Amino acid sequence: METHPKNPLQGKTLEMILTALVQEYGWAELGERIPVNCFLKDPSIKSSLVFLRRTPWARKKVETMYLRTMK
């Protein structure tokens, strides 16, 4: 596996990122900031991970939000 020293997401799984954001903001605020149904209607880590893995634009928004939050 190739390492990318300048990639701030190196070693972070999508589940770790999503869990950190939910702990920081909660589902309601996360759904306001990134308005997708998996955050707004009956949210769960599992269903959100399925959606984010299939939807690159939403995943990018979550990753960007994580980077801004964890500065």
Mean pLDDT value of segment 41-69: 96
Mean pLDDT value of segment 41-58: 97
Q: Where are the domains of the chain?
A: 14-69
Q: Are 15 and 37 in contact (CB under 8 A)?
A: no
CATH label, 14-69, candidates 1.10.720.30, 3.40.50.300, 3.30.70.990, 3.30.470.20: 1.10.720.30
Segment 10-33, tens digit of pLDDT = 899 999 999 999 999 999 999 999
Q: What is the pLDDT of residue 68?
A: 95
